Structure 1
Amino acid sequence: MSKDEIEQKATLSRQEVARWLADLAKAIESGGTMQVSLTGPPVTLELPEEFRCELEVEPHGDTVELEIELTWPRTRARARHDAPTAATLARPE
Structure 2
Amino acid sequence: MANVKVERKASLTRKQVAEALSALASALDEGPEVEVKVAGLEVKLVVPDELHTEFEVEVDGDEIEIELELKWSTAPTARPNPRPARRRAR
**TM-score normalised by length of structure 2:** 0.72
Q: % of aligned pairs identical?
A: 39
Is the CA contact 2:32–2:46 (under 8 Å) kept in the aligned structure 1? yes
Q: Kindly report the root-mean-square deviation, in angstroms, between the aligned alpha carbons of the 2 structures.
A: 1.9
Is the radius of gyration larger for structure 1 or structure 2? 2
Structure with larger RCO (C-alpha < 8 A, sep 6+): 1
- 1:43-82, aligned counterparts within 5 Å? 43-75=43-75
- 1:1-93, aligned counterparts within 5 Å? 4-75=4-75
Is the CA contact 1:9–1:38 (under 8 Å) kept in the aligned structure 2? no
- Between Structure 1 and Structure 2, how many residues are aligned? 75
* Deviation per residue, 1:30-73 (Å, 9 max, x gap): 12212212322111111111111111111122211100011111
Stretches of structure 2 that go unaligned for 5 or more consecutive residues are: 77-90
Alpha-carbon separation, structure 1, partners of 2:75 and 2:27: 18
Stretches of structure 1 that go unaligned for 5 or more consecutive residues are: 77-93
